[in-house]
Chains A and B, each alone.
Chain A
Amino acid sequence: MPTKKISIIALIMISVMIVISCNDVRRKPGRIYMPDMAYSRAYETYSVTAEQKEDLLKKQGAHYSNLPVPGTVRRGELFPFALMKDKEGDSTNYVASKLVKNPVTNLAPDQMIEAERLFLVNCAICHGSKLDGNGPLYKGGDGPYPAKPATLVGDAKYEAMPEGQMFYSVTYGKNKMGSYASQLDSRQRWMVIDYIKSKQAKPKPAVAGADSTAKK
């Protein structure tokens, strides 16, 4: 009798220990009723099976971040930007881009709201929601980003910059800024530039004051 009692108590203790030591981090997706339905037989990004992955990535060299086929233009796209990216140490096309005019001007109020949204999502993180070059990533030099983003409103250089040159910089990147062509299509890029130009055109006494102290 006592050995039985002891063994039962021991069993209970062991099961309690097992329950305690279970890790609650779920690293495996778990089981499914019908794998054919849950995981597509077609090749889908990120949900491919192990065999599909082997077939796609290793044998066929498929790459999810491939560029579009050269020479193709997406439906609904604006007329392509004719200037190519400059080679290193060359600035011919950067200079030439000054002459390119913005084909997307005079935005309607709702388009302007959309342009502002695009700016806030994609640009404000560095250039600041007030376009003062002080977004959350720079934070006056305390943020993680080591380079000062351009002060789009309040710096004479960027206020005078032609829109074509801005488009070149947004499309191909400039200095430490990367290309935004994969996040914004050409129409959206022109819309954002029109938004920046409209902000620059507005009178801004406060920013101008801060700038004059900086250039004392």
Chain B
Amino acid sequence: MLHYRLIAKKLFYILLFAVVSISGLRAQDGKALFQANCASCHNPIKQLTGPALQGVTSRVTDKALLHAWIKNNIAVLGTGNKYFNDLYVSFGKTPMNTFPNLSDAEIDAILNYVETYKAPTAAPADNGGGGTKDQENDNSLLYGVLTLILAVIMFVLLQVNSSLKKLSDDKEGIPAMEPIPFYRNKVYITFVVLILFVVGGYYVVQGAIGLGRTKNYQPEQPIFYSHKVHAGTNQISCLYCHGGAWESKHAGVPSLNICMNCHAAINEYKGEALHREDGTTVDGTAEIQKLYSYTGYDVKSGKYTEPGKSIEWVKIHNLPDHVYFNHSQHIRAGKVQCQTCHGNITEMSEVKQFAELSMGWCINCHRNSKIDFPDSTGAGNKFYSIYEKFHNDLKNGTIDSVTVEKIGGTECQKCHY
């Protein structure tokens, strides 16, 4: 008896498992089928080229009609069905593809997936970042306070010392000198003046060098465009938007149609929380709305209803006119990574100037960077084949590599002409 019960129990579990896995499979199937056939134009909860599909079974209660529509919408339109004809007109008479190969079971699986679809939940916001930076600031502050305290202690001790000396002198009958207050004491005054000179001089020199240099410049932009989200999380190539960097002197700022390549469809932000430099939270969806207000795009109809106007981004990296700089020369021929000069851009929510863009900074890199000089195997940039002397030197072992400086990269006229 016990035996049978055990077997029955086992059978029950096996059956349960089978049912669960089959239904899981079907849901999975529905997703795969939906993505293979429908997802180019439809999203369960968003209007794309076609309408948002969730709730379609309650909008079209006649199941046979719905199946017929999905399989061959042109035939259904031909019958003069009012609902579908109105739909067809409201979506700009864009014809839907026909799917004669889908079976009824497959369509049911797709509909089941669509009706049970839930939007992917937002990734949990990370609360890291900035922690290490604060630590550093705290340390320097600590040292500063310690120095101050030590200085005060030293000052007090010196005062105590002089008072004690005066007392002992009084006791021993040595005639006391007229006490000099510390602010008229020449040693103190010299000391303070010296410190002021050194500290003041340091800041004056730093300020003078820093004049015209805008390192760490991080202006607020008209739209909170996060390079961290675009180039970091979503792995969009830098050249997707700044394609000019490969082709020309200027990297260029993308025109609005390039934003709208993706943002015609992506109209809300659901990633981890965005923060400005001062710590306030940014509503990503509202920032995308700002883009729409510039482009005159209407999300509901998916059309451009108003004329576009330009976004006046604030230029951060500025070189004076008497400096020639060419992006393509560095990126294409020199194979320099964007990050070398622009810093870890994939981690920047708000872009700031990473490099000094000073002449010393340029020259230093030109001295250290090796060029793509053709080696004995012939690999490398063929342009440099005319530098016969360096080829011979490399062969003789006089030099082990060729830097930008060697081919004239530190000559004045290379960049100033």
Which residues of A are in contact with B by a Cβ distance under 8 Å? 1, 4, 9, 12, 16, 19-20, 23-34, 37-40, 42, 45-47, 53, 57, 63-65, 88-89, 91, 120-122, 125, 136-137, 140-151, 155, 175-180, 182-183, 211, 213-216
Contact = CB atoms under 8 A, between A and B. Distances in A.
Contacts, number: 167
B262 interface: yes
A154 B234 CA distance: 24
Contacts of A182: 255, 257-258
Contact of B32 (A47, A64, A214): A214
Interface residues of B, number: 74
Interface in B1-52: 29, 31-33, 35-36, 38-43, 46, 48-49
Interface string B78-121: 00000000000000111100000100000000000000000010
Given A37-B320, A125-B236, A215-B101, A16 B148 contact: yes
A144 B256 contact: no
Contact of A29 (B217, B220, B310): B217
A37 B40 contact: no
B152 interface: yes
A182 to B, nearest CB: 6
Nearest to A53: B312
User: Which one of B40, B41, B214 has the greatest number of beta carbons of chain A within 10 Å?
Assistant: B40
B235 A125 contact: yes
B240 interface: yes
B265 A142 contact: no
B335 to A, nearest CB: 13
Contacts of A176: 41, 48-49, 264-265
Contacts of A155: 36
Nearest to A35: B212
A16 B120 contact: no
B289 interface: no
Nearest to A31: B211
B352 interface: yes
A183 B240 contact: yes
B212 A31 contact: yes
B195 interface: no
B35 A148 contact: yes
Nearest to A65: B255
A10 to B, nearest CB: 13
B310 A147 contact: no
A143 B234 contact: yes
B40 A147 contact: yes
B271 interface: yes
B40 A178 contact: no
A146 B266 contact: yes
B67 interface: no
A146 B315 contact: no
A142 B243 CA distance: 27
B321 interface: yes
A80 B31 CA distance: 42
Contacts of A211: 36
Contacts of B261: 177-178, 180
A28 B219 CA distance: 6
B321 A146 contact: no
Contacts of B43: 146-147
Given A39-B318, A177-B261, A146 B48 contact: yes
A151 B32 CA distance: 13
User: Which one of A9, A121, A142, A149 has the greatest number of beta carbons of chain B within 10 Å?
Assistant: A121
Interface SS, B side: loop
Given A40-B321, A144-B234, A178-B260, A149 B271 contact: no
Nearest to A38: B320
23 contacts: A1-B181, A27-B219, A28-B217, A31-B211, A37-B320, A42-B321, A47-B318, A65-B255, A88-B93, A121-B243, A122-B243, A125-B237, A137-B236, A140-B35, A141-B120, A145-B265, A148-B39, A155-B36, A178-B264, A183-B243, A183-B258, A211-B36, A213-B32
B278 interface: yes
Contacts of A146: 43, 46, 48, 265-266
B336 interface: no
Contacts of A19: 144
B203 interface: no
B216 interface: yes
B365 interface: no
B341 interface: no
Contacts of A38: 212, 318, 320
A33 B211 contact: yes
A147 B211 contact: no
A45 B93 CA distance: 41
Nearest to A148: B39
B236 A25 contact: no
Contacts of A34: 212
B157 interface: no
Nearest to B183: A4
A179 B36 contact: no
B331 interface: no
Contacts of A137: 234, 236, 262
B48 A16 contact: no
Contacts of A143: 234
Given A26-B352, A125-B237, A182-B257, A16 B145 contact: yes
A24 B218 CA distance: 10
Contacts of B35: 140-141, 148
Contacts of A42: 321
A56 B240 CA distance: 28
Contact of B266 (A65, A144, A150): A144
A121 B315 contact: no
Contacts of B313: 46
